[in-house]
Structure 1
Amino acid sequence: MNPTDIYQVKRDFFQFSQKLAQGLAKPDQKFIFDMVFGIVKSRSPLLSDIARALEEDTRLLYTVKRLSNRGADFDDFQGLHQNYLQSIQSHLQEDMLVIVDNSDITKPFGEQFEALARVHDGSRDGIEKGYISANIAIASPRTKHPIPIYSHLFSAAEEYFDSTNVETYKGLNLVKRLFQEKSYTLVMDRGYDSNDMFTFMHKQDASFIVRLQDKRYLKYQNKRIKVPELALRRKGKIAFSSTIKGKKYALKVSHTPVELPCLPKVPLNMVVVYGYGQKPMKLLTNHPIKNKEDVLAIVKAYITRWRIEENFRVQKQEYHLEKVRTLNLNSLRLIHCFVSYLIGHHSLLLEKETCYVKQVLHRAKATFSDQKIRLKLYRFIRGLAEILRFDSTGIQAYKRVEKRPRAHQLALAV
C-alpha cells in the first residue's frame, strides 16, 4: 500500500475531527479524533475494535476503558452537532428536499442496556427490544447521496421522554433554523400521516409531500371521502418511468385538489401513482400543481425519499451499528452521532469527486463481487478501511501534546 494514500486518509479525518471538535474541551477533542478514526478504520461500533484501530502502545483494556469513560461523561452534544451543521451549511441550496424518517436499533437479546424499550423492528416487521432514532437528511445536489442533518437516538423508557412526535418536532425546528430564508420541502412516509403533524407543518409554513394511509379521510368537493375510494376515481393519465431501489417501474400518475378536515380552507393536492405495488400510492402535498411537470416533480421528490433508507442501510451494513455493545445510553447515542456525521462527510466528498476520492473508490474494487452499485457510498467506506488496513502507527503523531510550563519556586519578598 502506498504510504501517501494512508497519509491522505488520516489527514482528511484529522481535519474533519478538528471541525467537529472546534471549541470543545481538549480531552473531548482528542476523544472525538480517536472515535472518528477508529470507526472509519474498523468499520465497527465496538469499543474494542475502535481501540485496536488506534494502534496505541498501552494495553487494549486501558484504551477501551478510556474511550468508555469519555463517552459516558460526554455532555456537549449541542456544540458537537452545531459544529457538524456548520460544516454542511455551505452546501444548502434553495428548494432542497428534506427527508424525514425514523429508524431503529434493536437489541433482542439485550438485558443490561440502559433504558431499553420495546420498538418496532422495520426489518423483521415485529416488536423487539431496542431504541428509536429520529432522522432528517438531505440528498446531495449532484450525486443524491444522503447527508444527515439531524440524528437523535432516544428511548421511550427514558425518564423525560415525551413522545416520538415531539422528537420529530425538535428536528423540524432545527431544519427551519438551519435553512433560514431558504425554501425546502419536507418528504415523509405514511408514518407521519397524522393531524398533529400536518397542523405542525402548516404552522411552520413548510412545504411538504407525505404518503397517505388508506384509513385517512379527505374533503373533496365539500364531501368527506376515504383516500382509497378517491384514488380509484383517478386512473392515471400521465405516463412516467422510474427506477426505484434498483427496479424499473412504468408508472401512471394523476392528481386532484383536496382539503384536510383538520386544515379547512387550506388548498392541497393528492397525487395518485399507479404501477408501484398492487395498490396505488397516494401522496398529499401543499405544492400548487399547474401542469404535468409539477405533478412529476412531486413524484420524483417522493422517490428521492428512499435515499434516507440507504442511510440506514449504510449504518447497519457498513458500520454494523446494531452490533454496538456499550451499555450506557449516552455512549450509544454518541456513537450513533459519529456514524451519521461520517456518512454526511463521505457524501460531501463523493459530491466533489476529487483525485483522492477516485483513489479511495479504486482501492475498494476488489471487495465487491457485484459491480452493479447504485451508490458509491458503500464502496467509498470499504475503500477507506482497505487503505487503513495497512496502517500500523495509528494517530498518535497527529495529537498535539502540550507540555505544562515549568513550575517556579515560590519566593517570598523580604
Structure 2
Amino acid sequence: MPREKSIAERFDAYVEAVGGRLYRPNRRFLRDALFGLLENRSSLLSNIGRALDEPRKLIHTEKRLSRGLSSTRYDDAAVEADYLKLVAPLLRDERYTRPTIAVDLTDITKPRARKMPYLATVHDGSTGELGTGYNIISVEAVGVQGRRIPLMSRLFSSKSPEYKSHSASYMPVVKAVAQQVPKDAFWAFDIGFDSQDRFNDFNALGLRYAIRLKFEGKRTLFTPLGNVNPSELAARCPRPHRHRIRRLQGRKTPIHHVEVGWVPDVYLQRYRPGGNSMKSPGETRYSVVFAGGGLIGQKPLAIITNENVRTAEDANRVVDAYLDRWGIEEANRFVKQGFDLEDVRALTWTGLRRMVQLVYLAYGFLALLVHGPRAQVERLAATFKAFGPLPRYLYYRLLEGIGRVLRPSMDGGP
C-alpha cells in the first residue's frame, strides 16, 4: 500500500502541476506567493515577504516578489489551464454524480484607492450601493453533501484597455470551464446573467442551465398560461408542491421547505439581427420553476431552465441545483476575509490580476486538501483551538494551521 503523501509533499506537487510550464524563477515566485498567502493570510506583498522570513532585508524580498508579480515571462494562461486540468478529473468521481457549476459575479471595492490602475464603478455586494473597485467572475463546482472545488476566477474592469463588455470579460471563462467539465453538468447562474444574448451563448455551448429571472422589464414569455411577463407568470402559476431543500453549505440555517410550481413549454421573444424584438416565439423551449416561502421569502424565486421540467421531481432538482449556487457566495466571502483580498494593492494591471489569480489558487489548494484523506484534513483543522465539533465548512480552520505545516519545507525554490 503506497505511503500517504504529507501536506508539504502535496503542496510541492500542486505547485509543479499548476506551474510546471513556467520558467524556474516564475515557478519559485508562484511557490513563495502561495506559501505567503497561506501563512500570513494576506494579499499584501509585505506580509507575504514576512512569511518567507528570508535571511535578507524585507525590502529586498518585496522587490523580488514585485518583479515576479509583474513579470512578462509569467504565463497566466498556462497556470490557469493547468490548474483546471488538475481539478477537472475530480468532477468525474462519485462525489460529483452530476455536478452543479456555480457561476457568480462578485466585486472588490477600493473606496480609498487613488493610484491603482483602471478603477471602475462596481455594485458593492455587501452594501448594495455603487462603489469604486473591480469585478471578479468566479466559477465553482458543487458535488454531493456540499463538496465544492473552485474552477476559475478572473478580475476585470470596465476601464481597462481590453474591456469591451461584461459578457466579453466573463464568457471566455465560461467557455474554458465548459471544455473541461462533464457534458451533463448543470450550470447555475444568478440574475445578472438573465439576458437573451447570454441564453443564446449558453445554448451554443450546449450547456444545461438554470438562471434566475428578473421580474422587472417588459420581456414577454409565451406560455400555456398566456403571453405574459415573468411577474405576471409568477402570479398565475400555482405552487402546490412542498419541497424540503438541502441544507446550504456554510449557512447556519434550519431545514426549510419551499412551495414549488412550474410552467413547461415556455418560449422567449425572437429578436431581429438589429436587436428589435418580434412577437413570434423563439425556437428554444424552456421551463420556468417558481419556488417561494420559507428561506426564499414572500416573493417567489423564478428560475428559467432549458431542462424539460414535467414533474415535481424535475422541478425540485432545478431548485436544489440553483440553491447550490448560493454556496459560491460563501466561497467568495472566505477568499475576501481569509486572504484579505479587498486590501490588495498593486500599481500595475498585470500585478493586480495576477494577485487575484494567486489568491484563488491558494483557495484551490485548500479545496484539494479537503478532497484528500479525511483524517489528514481533520488533524490539520484540529490544530486550530476552538470549542465544538469540526464545522462542515473547514476552510477557515485549515487556513489557520496550514502555514505551520508547510514552513519546514520552505527552504528554497521548488
Aligned residue number for residue 384 of structure 1: 402
Aligned residue number for residue 405 of structure 1: none
- Report whether the alignment pairs 1:184 with 2:182: no
SS in 1 for 2:101: strand
Aligned residue number for residue 226 of structure 1: 229
- Report whether the alignment pairs 1:174 with 2:176: yes
Task: Return the alpha-carbon distance in structure 1 between the equivalents of residues 233 and 409 of structure 2.
Answer: 62
Task: Return the alpha-carbon distance in structure 2 between the equivalents of residues 189 and 373 of structure 1.
Answer: 27
SS in 1 for 2:130: strand
1:321 corresponds, among 324, 336, 341, to: 341
SS in 2 for 1:101: strand
1:292 corresponds, among 309, 312, 319, to: 312
Amino acid at match of 1:90: P
Q: Is the 8 A contact 2:50 2:58 kept in 1?
A: yes
Q: Structure 2: any 5+ residue segments left out of the alignment? A: 271-280
Q: Is the 8 A contact 2:103 2:140 kept in 1?
A: yes
Q: Looking at CA atoms only, which structure, 1 or 2, has the larger radius of gyration?
A: 1
Task: Return the alpha-carbon distance in structure 2 between the equivalents of residues 222 and 271 of structure 1.
Answer: 14
- Report whether the alignment pairs 1:100 with 2:103: yes
Deviations 1:240-269 (A, max 9, x none): 123343323221101112111136132211
> 1:315-354 alignment to 2 at 5 Å?
315-354=335-374
Aligned residue number for residue 255 of structure 1: 262
Aligned residue number for residue 85 of structure 2: 86
- Report whether the alignment pairs 1:35 with 2:38: no
Aligned residue number for residue 286 of structure 2: 268
Task: Return the alpha-carbon distance in structure 2 between the equivalents of residues 238 and 372 of structure 1.
Answer: 35
Task: Return the alpha-carbon distance in structure 2 between the equivalents of residues 279 and 56 of structure 1.
Answer: 57
Task: Return the alpha-carbon distance in structure 2 between the equivalents of residues 273 and 236 of structure 1.
Answer: 7
Q: Is the 8 A contact 1:118 1:130 kept in 2?
A: yes
Q: How far did 1:360 drift?
A: 0.6
Aligned residue number for residue 131 of structure 1: 134
Task: Return the alpha-carbon distance in structure 2 between the equivalents of residues 17 and 175 of structure 1.
Answer: 21
Task: Return the alpha-carbon distance in structure 1 between the equivalents of residues 117 and 409 of structure 2.
Answer: 32
- Report whether the alignment pairs 1:195 with 2:196: yes
Task: Return the alpha-carbon distance in structure 1 between the equivalents of residues 390 and 282 of structure 2.
Answer: 48
- Report whether the alignment pairs 1:122 with 2:129: no
Q: How many residues align?
A: 386
Q: Structure 1: any 5+ residue segments left out of the alignment? A: 1-6, 401-414
Task: Return the alpha-carbon distance in structure 1 between the equivalents of residues 64 and 267 of structure 2.
Answer: 57
Identity score, percent: 28
Q: How far did 1:153 drift?
A: 0.5
Q: RMSD across aligned C-alpha pairs, in angstroms?
A: 2.1
Task: Return the alpha-carbon distance in structure 2 between the equivalents of residues 64 and 230 of structure 1.
Answer: 58
1:238 corresponds, among 233, 237, 241, to: 241
Q: How far did 1:291 drift?
A: 2.2
> 1:14-33 alignment to 2 at 5 Å?
14-33=12-31
Amino acid at match of 1:271: V
Aligned residue number for residue 71 of structure 2: 73
Amino acid at match of 2:90: H
Amino acid at match of 1:175: V
After TM superposition, the score normalised by the length of structure 2 is 0.88
Deviations 1:382-409 (A, max 9, x none): 2314656xx5x67124x36xxxxxxxxx
Q: How far did 1:370 drift?
A: 7.3
Q: How far did 1:286 drift?
A: 0.8
Deviations 1:135-157 (A, max 9, x none): 11112x34424322221111111
SS in 1 for 2:239: coil
Q: Is the 8 A contact 2:34 2:361 kept in 1?
A: no
Change (3 A) 1:142 1:226: closer
Task: Return the alpha-carbon distance in structure 2 between the equivalents of residues 110 and 64 of structure 1.
Answer: 21
Q: Is the 8 A contact 1:145 1:375 kept in 2?
A: no
Task: Return the alpha-carbon distance in structure 2 between the equivalents of residues 246 and 260 of structure 1.
Answer: 38
Amino acid at match of 1:288: N
Deviations 1:314-362 (A, max 9, x none): 1111111001122222112111111212222222221234332121111
Task: Return the alpha-carbon distance in structure 2 between the equivalents of residues 320 and 31 of structure 1.
Answer: 20
Task: Return the alpha-carbon distance in structure 2 between the equivalents of residues 346 and 144 of structure 1.
Answer: 15
Aligned residue number for residue 146 of structure 1: 148
After TM superposition, the score normalised by the length of structure 1 is 0.88
Task: Return the alpha-carbon distance in structure 2 between the equivalents of residues 394 and 156 of structure 1.
Answer: 41
